Structure 1
């Protein structure tokens, strides 16, 4: 007796606070593959990082909702899996071990997608099939029985307020599938794309992100040459069309050879779309500037003793691999314990200052994808060696683009070591909704008064930016002075551990 099959739709889960959509980078499975619970099925890119998304169900993949480059909203269909009812109930009872926000093993509806697959198959038959000749190729599947031979492809993206079958050129219910025709009325094989563009056909599977970019710049998508798989128009295709249009507008008329002057390349402004990580950074920093009345204070400190302490620890415990960032992070944790007013945020709606019992220490990290702020959660519970190890792990993941949304959110205080760029000082923008940020400049040899003499010492500048709503200058100055004392005399730090 054949087991009853239920099709379950897995939707894009909540990937963290503030994230509403993600772009598909690559599928890890194909239609027809069998997947297990918590198997990674797709890699997506959010505004913060690239994320591997596992699936909380087991069965056979029957549909992928989107090509690489497609933007998918949180809660939108991502992949459909066919499972026997018995197997699905067993997986549901067992539960998924997944830890991503919004995951659960409960499935969506059980509606069949076979009609959609048949319509897609009709649309993609070779021109040689001819009008009125339906495709009959099929194969038998041990789970679903006879299935379409086109299940090895991707079904198309979900586009809000637009029919996906129309975007993909798939006939609606009741319509016959017809090959594209030329002006003469016959199928032209390779000429189908040209004919389709003359007829105003919208290219296949346009992501909301790409469509919005085209609309903002007045790009006619029917004139864009797609470079994505299966004729999909990607973001780079629209950007190329924008650049070509700009060049055409700025082109000067040709000068007759007799009057031609020496040619000079004209400088042209470059326009970079504000998308992805850069857009997320811009929105967060703009909100910080709008909402937080910040103030900055700074002090120069002699860091010679702290540098010597670092070198001494690494000689005694080489496996600990203690860096200056770890020492400064430990100082910040101790300082926040002494000045809890700064480990807080302002609840604007309730007009309250919320002081937090835990310290989640963020630190700024520059990567190829832009500036990110990984967070060491519960930093107050870690030893110096544990804190150093955690900082190394997060830094490596940030550079590789492997940080999860959880590792990028929830910070209560940020440490910014901009000295790695060779600069002495800065007035940083607070990482909203936090209340303060400590900045550290480069450590350089400078003349410094020491024991009654002017000597070369390891000097750095500390800058402290704080939300003036949570405290006044006395608290901010007290915190900065405590940090400076720990840098100049590490025994102060040891005393308060």
Structure 2
């Protein structure tokens, strides 16, 4: 006998509590295999294809494109069992009878190869559903959304939807939800906000406290960045020190390394060299590779260096992380930076590749600026900023010369160290930029 199983949005890891539907990969009536990706969602960390642990016929989908669902909300239902096989006209037996893969979905798919989707005839689908809906409902009743204690019986489960409504003074009790069982979705709230904005209003007697202009929702990556930066400013007493350095020798070393590698070999980037310098500096000043446990009032010095680097993408600013950078060579760091940068551009970074950093390198020189006071990437303790490398007048060996000069800045959490440690770290980085041979004495 066939059975309808409900697949809910799984825990995507890293503390993520909701995701937005970007694109459905299956339709009602399609035959899906176990662990086949069925929907593409966007979290505050990355784009993720979510695989379904059941094989059978898709009988329902919950949520349109753009809808934001909390973890645990229904995504789709799948009819599994022998009636599905006959309705599908030859679906694999394993797809119809297996109860699921049992894989835990944390931030990414299970790695199964892509499966060609098939669609059953509507009459076959109806037969399968007719046989199986009643047992499924009896076995797994859908939970009703928990009502909001302050607003009465309102069908809202997403805290983001509630916050959006509060920001616009919108009474959720007056809305009819378009989701399952009348669930109020973000799209319902945004539609109500637009309707209120378009409605004619009388000329106010006094100027409104709310500024007029285009409103851009802080959501997805942009919203996550805003939350993290705000938290950093609230919790971290940061300070910044900076220094100019002569990068002429560093650029010469890079040219020599790339020349020796030969044609077709991967080129060593300036960012990779600076990353290698950072790992050497952190070995000397481990105070800056730490975090603060505020509740325990303890500084936690971390044994590994997981080096993040800021990357600008069409989706906003992201910080991919090079794992175990302290154990890598310059070439290995460079190769991993190149791989992560390409993944960032295509939106293929996983949540695991965007979290867990212990120190961040920010090359804002690519934007044509010399200096900055960057905000620390919470919960890290420091960030090194690098400006553009440009020809400038410089006193070299007692004479005025034109040299390649870069400004370096270090923003640090003053709780983990004092200015002497921060200055020592930055001075060592600048010395390695000016005299790259110093690295050979520290390895």
Give the counterpart of 1:244 among 167, 173, 198. Answer: 198
CA distance in structure 1 between the partners assigned to 2:363 and 2:2 by the alignment: 56
Unpaired segments ≥5 residues, structure 1: 104-136, 149-156, 163-201, 227-231, 252-266
Quote the Cα distance in structure 2 between the aligned partners of 1:250 and 1:449.
Answer: 65
**Partner residue of 1:56 out of 28, 53, 56:** 53
SS in 1 for 2:415: coil
The answer as to whether partners of 1:37 and 1:96 remain within 8 angstroms in 2 is no
Contact (CA 8 Å) 1:140, 1:147: kept in 2 or not? no
Provide the residue aligned with 2:32 in structure 1.
Answer: 35
Distance 2:96 2:80 in 1: 10
Report the Cα offset of residue 48 of structure 1: 2.5
Report the Cα distance in structure 1 between the residues aligned to 2:53 and 2:380, rounded to whole angstroms: 34
Query: Structure 1 residues 453 and 158, CA, compared in 2 at 3 Å: closer, same or farther?
Result: farther
Query: Which among 301, 316, 332 is matched to residue 260 of structure 2?
Result: 316
CA shift for structure 1 position 343? 1.0
Q: Which residue of 2 aligns with 1:72?
A: 69
2:351 is aligned with 1:351: no
Shift of 1:250: 6.6
The alignment of Structure 1 onto Structure 2 pairs a total of residues equal to 393
- 1:406-425 matches, cutoff 5 A: 406-425=352-371
Conserved? CA contact 1:138–1:147, under 8 Å: no
User: For residues 371 and 145 of structure 1, do their structure 2 counterparts lie closer, same or farther at Cα, with a shift above 3 Å needed?
Assistant: closer
Aligned match of 1:387 in 325, 333, 356? 333
1: CA distance, partners of 2:129 / 2:69: 31
TM-score if structure 2 supplies the norm length? 0.78
Corresponding residue number in structure 2 for 1:443 = 389
Structure with more contact order per residue of length (Cα contacts < 8 Å, sep ≥ 6): 2
Pick one of 466, 469, 473 that aligns with 2:415: 469
Contact 2:168 2:193 in 1 (8 A): no
* 2:406 alignment counterpart: 460
Q: Secondary structure at the match of 2:292?
A: strand
Please give the per-residue CA displacement for 1:4-49, whole angstroms capped at 9, x wherever unaligned: 3333322222223232111111110112222223211111111232
Unaligned stretches of 5+ in structure 2?
A: 83-92, 111-120, 133-141, 148-153, 179-184, 205-210
In structure 1, C-alpha distance between the alignment counterparts of 2:230 and 2:324, rounded to whole Å: 28
Change (3 A) 1:368 1:467: same
Segment of structure 1 superposing worse, 76-85 or 485-494: 76-85
Query: 1:119 aligns to what?
Result: none
> What's the counterpart of residue 311 of structure 2?
365
Is residue 144 of structure 1 aligned with residue 128 of structure 2?
yes
Change (3 A) 1:146 1:274: closer
SS in structure 2 opposite 1:139?
Answer: helix
Alignment check: 8 A CA contact 1:326 1:387 kept: yes
User: Following TM superposition, by how much is the alpha carbon of 1:311 offset from its aligned partner in structure 2, in angstroms?
Assistant: 1.5
Q: Is the 8 A contact 2:12 2:106 kept in 1?
A: no
Shift of 1:392: 1.5
Contact 2:4 2:129 in 1 (8 A): no
**Cα drift, residue 432 of structure 1:** 0.6
Aligned residues: CA RMSD: 3.6
Find the aligned partners of 1:159 and 1:421 in 2 and give their Cα distance. 50
TM-score by length of 1: 0.70
Contact 1:71 1:208 in 2 (8 A): no
CA contact (8 A) 1:21 1:46 kept: yes
Runs of 4+ in 1 over 4 A off after TM superposition: 85-95, 145-148, 205-212, 218-224, 232-240, 247-251
Structure 1 residues 276-300: Cα deviation after superposition (integer angstroms, max 9, x where no partner): 2222112111111111111111111
Whole-Å Cα distance in 1 between the matches of residues 290 and 338 of structure 2? 26
The equivalent of 2:116 in structure 1 is: none
Contact 2:29/2:122 (<8 A) preserved: no
CA contact (8 A) 1:70 1:208 kept: no
Counterpart pick for 1:304 among 248, 252, 272: 248
